[in-house]
Chain A
Amino acid sequence: MSLLELKGISKIYGDLKALDNINLSVDNGEWVAIMGPSGSGKSTMMNIIGCMDKPSLGEVLLDGVDISKESAKNLTEIRRDKIGLIFQQFHLVNYLTAVENVMVAQYYHSLPDEKEALEALDRVGLLERAKHLPSQLSGGEQQRVCIARALINHPEIILADEPTGNLDEANENIVLDLFKQLHEEHTTLIVVTHDPEVAEVAQRTITLDHGRIKSDKINEMFGKS
C-alpha cells in the first residue's frame, strides 16, 4: 500500500484553480521531486501534503487515513507525528541555539531529549556547532540544522520546500548528500524545487503546470551518479 495517496485533489481560489484534479501516490521510501514553474501549484500541493491546508475537492490518504476533512487541530497533530518540514528560508528560531532548535520539535512532539538532539546534529555533521545561534551559522549549516530538526521525530515523510534555494553549490551538495543518505535509510522524501539539478538526483520527478500533472517519470539515472 502506498504511504501517501492524493485522489482527485483540487484547490480552488475564486476563479483560479491552483490544483486541478490531481491524482498521485507515493510509496514508502520513495524519493519524489515536484517541479514546475512559479504558479504551477507546487506550493499549494506542498501545503496540502504538509497538513497546512485542505483541498477544496478530493481525498488525501496518509497511511490509509483520509486527512482532507480533519479539523485544523487534528491536522496539527498529524503533521507533528508524521511529517518533517524543511524550508527554503530555514526558519530557525533566532534566539535558540542549534540544538535547542532541534529540541523545540521534540518538545511539541513528545519529550525534549538533548542527547538525541545532539545525535541528530551529529548526523548532519554539526555536532561542534550545536551551541551556536542561527546567526553564527552559515546558510548551509542552518539548513542542516533544519534537516536535523525535521528528522528528530522520525517522521514518515520529509517534505522539503526548495531546500537548496538559498544555498551555494557546495552547501547544496552537502544537503543533497544528506538526502541520499536518508533515502538509503528508507525515509520517504518529497522535495519541491524548480532546480532541475535537484530534481535529477531524485528517484521520480513529477512536473506540474497550471495545477495539473504534466509529467510523472522515473529517473533512469537514479542511483548511478
Chain B
Amino acid sequence: MFLRMIRGAFARQWKKMLVIALTIMLGTSLATAMINVMLDVGDKVNQELKTYGANITVLPKSASVMSDLYEMEDAGAETGSYLLESEIGNIKTIFWAFNIVDFAPFIDTDVTMESGSDVKITGTWFNHHLDLPTGESLDAGVNSLRSWWDIDEGEWIDEQLLSENEAAAMVGTVLAKREGIKAGDTIHVKGSAGEADLNVRGIFDAGGDEDEQIYAPLDVVQALSDTDGYISSIEVSALTTPDNELAEKAAKDPGSLTIAQYELWYCTAYVSSICYQIQEAITDSAAAPVRQVAESEGAIMDKTELLMVLITILSLIGSALGITNLVTASVMERSGEIGLFKAIGATDWTISGLFLTEILLTGLVGAVAGYFVGFGFAQIIGHTVFSSSIEMKPFVIPIVAVLMLGVTLLGSIPAIRMLLHLDPAEVLHGR
C-alpha cells in the first residue's frame, strides 16, 4: 500500500514533483560545477601564470657561484664551466616530469658586427622538437617560454622549417633600430671562433635587455664560440605547488628532513623539490627558483583558490536554501491531504516516511540529472576561460550526493514538523 501511495503521488502530483526535482537538479549542478571548478582552478591558473616565463634556472654548479662575476671582470674570458647539451632531455625524466611545461637552453657570446660594434648573441631553442626516451615527444623553446615578446617585424624562427646549414637569427628592436636591420636582411657577425651570415627572420620587442641582443639557434652560437655540445644555462617552466614551511625547510637543506618529511617533500611539486630533482638529473648543475616568478605565483594561486572556495560556499548555501525553501513550500501546500491521512488513522511515522520517500526519490532523479548538467557547466567554464576542459574528479560525486541528501532532509524538517503538529479536524474543517 505504501508503494501504491507513493506511485499515486508521483502519478498525480508529477508537476509538483517535477518542480522539486528541477530545483534539486539546479542545486546539484551548481554544486558539481562549482566544486569541480574550484578544485581545478589552481592547476588552470598555474598554467596561465606560465606566461610569466621560467620559474627555475639551471646553471653549472661552479658557474652559479662565480661565472657571472668573472664575466663582469673580463667579458671575454672563457673560464666558466658548462652544462652538457645532451643532458637537457633528462629534465623530462624526473619524478615531476609531467609538471615541466617548457624549457630552453641558453648560451651566449659576444660577436662583432660589420659596423664594428660588439653585440651579445644568445643561442637557444626556438621550438625545438625533442623525442624523449619515454617515447613522448614535445616542442620546447623560447617561442612559448617568452610569450610576452612582441614580434615587430617578420616572425618567430621555426626550427622545423629551417633548411640544413641555414643560420637564422632574430634581432632585438633596439639593436635593429640602431644598426638599421630589417626582417629578411642578412647580417655578418664575427665571433671568437668563427664567422657567420645570419638571415634575420624577425625583430622582437621584449621590453628588456634582450632588445639589444641577437637570438639564434643553439648550434649557430656554439659554432661562433667553439662550445659545441655545451650550454651555459637552462630555463625551466614548471607547474608548482605554493611553498609551505616544509618546502622552505627543505629548500635550505634537504638533509635536515626526516625520512617521512623527505618523502612527502620529494613527492610534492614544490619548486624546491623540482629543483632538487633537476640537479639529480643533470650533471654538475645547480637549479634555483626564480623568486620573482615562483613567489608571486604562489601568492596569486593561493588567493584565487581561496576566492573560489568562498564563492563556492556562497553558491552552495544559496542552492541549499533554494531547495529547502521549495521543499517546505511544496509540503505546506499539501496540508489538506496530510490532515486526511491523519484523520483516517495514519501515524506520524507513516506520514513522515511517505513524504520523505517521495521527496528523496524525486531528489535522486534531480541529483543525477544535475550532476550531468553541472558537468556541462564546468566544461563551459573551462573552455571559455582556460580553453581546456575541467577535470571531473570522481570523489566529488559522493560529496555532492551527501550534500544534497542533507540539504533535502534539512528542507523537509520544517515541513515534517508542521505536518506532525497538524490537527486533522482543523484541516478538514476548511481552515
Interface residue A139 (Cβ < 8 Å from any Cβ of B): yes
* A219→B431 CA distance, assembly (Å): 36
Taking beta carbons and an 8 Å cutoff, which residues of A are in contact with B?
89-90, 92, 94, 134-135, 139, 142, 166
- Excluding A92-B431, A135-B431, A166-B429, 9 further A-B contacts by CB distance (< 8 Å) are A89-B430, A90-B430, A94-B431, A134-B431, A139-B429, A139-B430, A142-B430, A142-B431, A166-B430
* A190→B431 CA distance, assembly (Å): 26
Minimum Cβ distance to chain B for residue A171 (Å): 13
Task: Kindly report which residue of chain A lies nearest to residue B426, judged by CB atoms.
Answer: A135
* A89→B429 CA distance, assembly (Å): 8
| Complex interface: chain B residues within 8 A of A92 (CB) | 431
| Complex interface: chain A residues within 8 A of B429 (CB) | 139, 166
| Complex interface: chain B residues within 8 A of A139 (CB) | 429-430
* A120→B311 CA distance, assembly (Å): 58
* A168→B223 CA distance, assembly (Å): 115
* A134→B426 CA distance, assembly (Å): 12
* A142→B430 CA distance, assembly (Å): 11
Please count how many residues in chain B sit with their CB below 8 Å of the partner chain's CB atoms. Answer: 3
Minimum Cβ distance to chain B for residue A100 (Å): 16
Minimum Cβ distance to chain B for residue A98 (Å): 13
CB 8 Å contact bits of B397-431 with A (1 = contact, 0 = none):
00000000000000000000000000000000111
* A58→B63 CA distance, assembly (Å): 111
| Complex interface: chain A residues within 8 A of B431 (CB) | 92, 94, 134-135, 142
Taking beta carbons and an 8 Å cutoff, which residues of B are in contact with A?
429-431
Task: Kindly report which residue of chain A lies nearest to residue B430, judged by CB atoms.
Answer: A89
Task: Kindly report which residue of chain B lies nearest to residue A90, judged by CB atoms.
Answer: B430
| Complex interface: chain B residues within 8 A of A89 (CB) | 430
Minimum Cβ distance to chain B for residue A217 (Å): 33
| Complex interface: chain B residues within 8 A of A134 (CB) | 431
Enumerate 12 A-B pairs (CB-CB under 8 Å) in ascending A order: A89-B430, A90-B430, A92-B431, A94-B431, A134-B431, A135-B431, A139-B429, A139-B430, A142-B430, A142-B431, A166-B429, A166-B430
Minimum Cβ distance to chain B for residue A52 (Å): 19
Pairs of residues from A and B, 5 with the lowest C-beta to C-beta distance, nearest first: A89-B430, A135-B431, A134-B431, A94-B431, A90-B430
Task: Kindly report which residue of chain B lies nearest to residue A87, judged by CB atoms.
Answer: B430
* A135→B430 CA distance, assembly (Å): 10
* A27→B361 CA distance, assembly (Å): 60
Task: Kindly report which residue of chain B lies nearest to residue A139, judged by CB atoms.
Answer: B429
Minimum Cβ distance to chain A for residue B232 (Å): 85
Minimum Cβ distance to chain B for residue A138 (Å): 10
* A50→B430 CA distance, assembly (Å): 22
Task: Kindly report which residue of chain B lies nearest to residue A133, judged by CB atoms.
Answer: B431
Minimum Cβ distance to chain B for residue A140 (Å): 12
* A90→B431 CA distance, assembly (Å): 10
| Complex interface: chain A residues within 8 A of B430 (CB) | 89-90, 139, 142, 166
Minimum Cβ distance to chain B for residue A107 (Å): 22
* A142→B431 CA distance, assembly (Å): 10
| Complex interface: chain B residues within 8 A of A166 (CB) | 429-430
| Complex interface: chain B residues within 8 A of A90 (CB) | 430
Minimum Cβ distance to chain A for residue B424 (Å): 15
* A166→B430 CA distance, assembly (Å): 9
Minimum Cβ distance to chain A for residue B350 (Å): 27
* A101→B429 CA distance, assembly (Å): 19
| Complex interface: chain B residues within 8 A of A94 (CB) | 431
* A89→B430 CA distance, assembly (Å): 6
Minimum Cβ distance to chain B for residue A85 (Å): 16
Task: Kindly report which residue of chain B lies nearest to residue A91, judged by CB atoms.
Answer: B430
Minimum Cβ distance to chain A for residue B258 (Å): 70
* A134→B430 CA distance, assembly (Å): 10
Task: Kindly report which residue of chain B lies nearest to residue A137, judged by CB atoms.
Answer: B431
Task: Kindly report which residue of chain A lies nearest to residue B428, judged by CB atoms.
Answer: A166
| Complex interface: chain B residues within 8 A of A135 (CB) | 431
* A139→B425 CA distance, assembly (Å): 12
* A142→B429 CA distance, assembly (Å): 12
* A139→B431 CA distance, assembly (Å): 10
* A94→B429 CA distance, assembly (Å): 13
